[in-house]
């Protein structure tokens, strides 16, 4: 039990005490103004509810709601503050002045107007619901081409030209198992069968290893 008492927030306790005192003071003013029985208890309820509703609108993200809520919050706070001061010996509760009796009598209509405006301001600024529900099927982006039908055959891409593998005469001879003179003779002369490529230096010549395989190792009689 003591552990639970330690967990109570002092600010919450102070707020409950202040609310109870304010509640009793408004009741006393209403009762002194001729509102006896349950009606005297209904006055502090209406004041506190109007203040709470206005405070909730003041925390809204919509500027129009906050602007109107400040007025009703200030009005409820002024009514509570006036009741607290009036019961502190400032007023004779046995003989309240007529203007104060008029204010107490007209408070229910004012509280009803404020609560109605605060409630409908939430409905007016609520986000509109969409007219039509979004389609469940995902749509393809506009820049992507449509997929071909399933019954159509997709043509394979054209074969890209084979990139040459450039090697020296000696490297080509080692790879093919022939003498370097054979590679040199196939790449030079009036009947050259191999294409020569320039190397890194002017005196360096390269040949395509794939082309050498096709030319040097071709079947006899071809």
Give per-residue pLDDT as tens, 141-195.
Answer: 556 656 656 555 666 566 667 777 777 778 777 877 788 777 777 777 777 777 7
pLDDT tens for 27-48 read 888 888 888 889 889 998 999 8
Quickly state the pLDDT bin for 202 (edges 50, 70, 90).
low
10-32 vs 63-85: helix crossing angle, rounded to 10? 70
Radius of gyration of the chain (CA): 48
pLDDT at 122: 60
Quickly state the pLDDT bin for 222 (edges 50, 70, 90).
very low
Sheet with 166-167, strands from edge to edge, namely 166-167, 205-208, 196-198
Residues 177, 171 contacting (CB under 8 angstroms): no
| Average pLDDT of the segment spanning 199-218 | 71
Least confident of 5-9, 103-107, 213-217: 5-9
pLDDT tens for 44-53 read 899 989 988 8
């Amino acid at each position: 039990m003591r552990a639970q008492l330690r967990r109570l927030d002092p600010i919450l306790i102070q707020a409950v005490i202040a609310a109870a005192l304010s509640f009793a003071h408004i009741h006393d003013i209403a009762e002194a103004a001729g509102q006896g029985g349950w009606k005297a208890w209904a006055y502090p309820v209406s004041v506190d509810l109007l203040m709470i509703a206005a405070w909730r609108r003041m925390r809204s993200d919509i500027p129009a709601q906050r602007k109107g809520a400040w007025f009703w919050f200030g009005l409820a706070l002024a009514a509570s503050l006036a009741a607290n001061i009036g019961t502190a010996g400032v007023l004779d509760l046995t003989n309240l002045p007529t203007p104060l009796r008029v204010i107490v009598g007209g408070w229910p209509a004012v509280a009803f107007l404020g609560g109605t405006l605060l409630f409908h301001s939430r409905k007016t600024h609520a986000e509109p619901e969409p007219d039509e529900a979004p389609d469940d099927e995902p749509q393809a982006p506009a820049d992507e081409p449509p997929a071909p039908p399933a019954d159509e055959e997709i043509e394979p891409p054209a074969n890209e030209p084979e990139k040459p593998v450039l090697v020296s005469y000696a490297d080509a001879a080692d790879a093919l198992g022939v003498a370097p003179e054979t590679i040199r003779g196939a790449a030079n002369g009036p009947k050259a069968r191999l294409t020569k490529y320039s190397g890194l230096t002017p005196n360096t010549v390269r040949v395509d290893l794939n082309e050498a395989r096709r030319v040097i190792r071709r079947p006899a009689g071809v």
